[in-house]
Amino acid sequence: MTGSGTRTRWVYAIAAVPVTFALLAVAGTAVAATVLSGTTAFGTAALDDPVVGTAVALAIVPNLVAVVVLPYAVYRDLGSVRDVTGDWSPDRSLHTLIAVVGLFVPFVIPGYATYYLVKRRRHVGV
């Protein structure tokens, strides 16, 4: 680890992406299991059941917010990272472009966000 470390709030927005994708995967699995079994604590379950719809919405909304904010968060975070590190000089435009492309290729986003956070942790220390 090199660098004195830098803290920006944008790194939390980047970290939210893998977390919300994990939440979405867990919620999707739970909803699928509930619908396939046909029962919930409130009775029978179907895809048009309000309980199922609420569970899906509670998982999708934070994920959508995190994914839409990611390109801007990467752009802003890289602005502060470039000032601190000497051995890691990420291309701000390239990283932002990858995050934008990830908006249209959904499963690129959690992998990219995790990769970025690992590289940032290794070189910046925070």
For the chain, the domains span: 10-124
Place of tokens 């830098």: 6
pLDDT in tens, 18-70: 999 998 888 888 777 777 777 665 566 666 667 777 877 888 899 999 999 99
pLDDT of residue 44: 63
Average pLDDT over residues 89-118: 91
- What contacts 24+ positions apart, CB below 8 Å, involve 110-113? 110/17, 110/18, 110/21, 113/14, 113/15, 113/17, 113/18, 113/70
